[in-house]
Amino acid sequence: MPVRPVLRMGDARLLRRAEPVGNFGDDLRALLEDMRDTMQALNGVGLAAPQIGANLRVVIFGVQKNPRYPDAESVPETVLINPVITVLEEVIDDEWEGCLSLPGLRGLVPRFRGIRYQGCDEHGALIDRAASGFHARVVQHECDHLDGILYPMRVVDMRRFGFQDVLFPSGEHTASE
């Protein structure tokens, strides 16, 4: 299945509130295949359906343990449909984020440290997990896309927003959600 173009910030389709998925049929399967292929081709950490123009509450994410980056936290490969997030830890952490809809840019974004997320997978089976740290951050970033929120809208100090290669000339923070 084809790698689809990722919409970039400025496209009005990224600003919509996405619709819940009601039908777990072939269309959903095809959409997920395109999302996986697109995320993989771009080395993304996560992707939300609106980023390829599908106005549905579907996100995928996942990070494999990489021996080159032993400190990077792994995140389970997940398809999350109709997600609901509950805050478990009111503590807020600032960390750098990128997004496939803003290629080359990074910003320092506050996120809740601990969350619970619920939803279902592509077969309709329930998902109910607690997550913290990077895992929780990725889920919050992806689910924001379903409400038309891009991470720069959450950057508090715009001096902490800019081009990745300028901010981090030695190559840190390359992952994009």
Half-sphere exposure of 27 (CA within 13 A, CB side): 9
Question: Is 45 an interacting residue with respect to Ni ion (CB under 5 A)?
Answer: no
Closer to Ni ion by Cβ: residue 81 or 99: 99
Q: How far is the CB of 3 from Ni ion (least distance, A)?
A: 17
Identify which of 6, 54, 51 has the alpha carbon closest to the alpha carbon of residue 29: 54
Rounded to 5°, the CA angle 35-36-40 comes to 115
Kindly state the helix (H) or strand (E) to which residue 68 belongs, with its residue range: none
Cα 47 to Cα 99: distance, rounded to the nearest angstrom: 9
Q: How far is the CB of 66 from Ni ion (least distance, A)?
A: 20
Residue nearest to Ni ion (CB): 99
Question: Is 34 an interacting residue with respect to Ni ion (CB under 5 A)?
Answer: no
CB atoms within 10 A of CB 25: 8
Q: How far is the CB of 157 from Ni ion (least distance, A)?
A: 20
Burial letters for 127-142: b for 16+ Cβ neighbours within 10 Å, e otherwise? Answer: eeeebbebbbbbbbbb
Closer to Ni ion by Cβ: residue 34 or 177: 177
Site string for Ni ion, 83-112 (x = CB under 5 A): ----------------x-------------
Instruction: List active site positions.
Output: 142
Site string for Ni ion, 134-173 (x = CB under 5 A): ----------------------------------------
Question: Is 177 an interacting residue with respect to Ni ion (CB under 5 A)?
Answer: yes
Closer to Ni ion by Cβ: residue 24 or 154: 154
Sign of the dihedral through C-alpha 131, 33, 69, 149: negative
Count interface residues toward Ni ion (CB under 5 A): 2
CB 45 within 8 A of CB 75: yes
Applying CB under 5 A, the residues found at the interface with Ni ion are: 99, 177
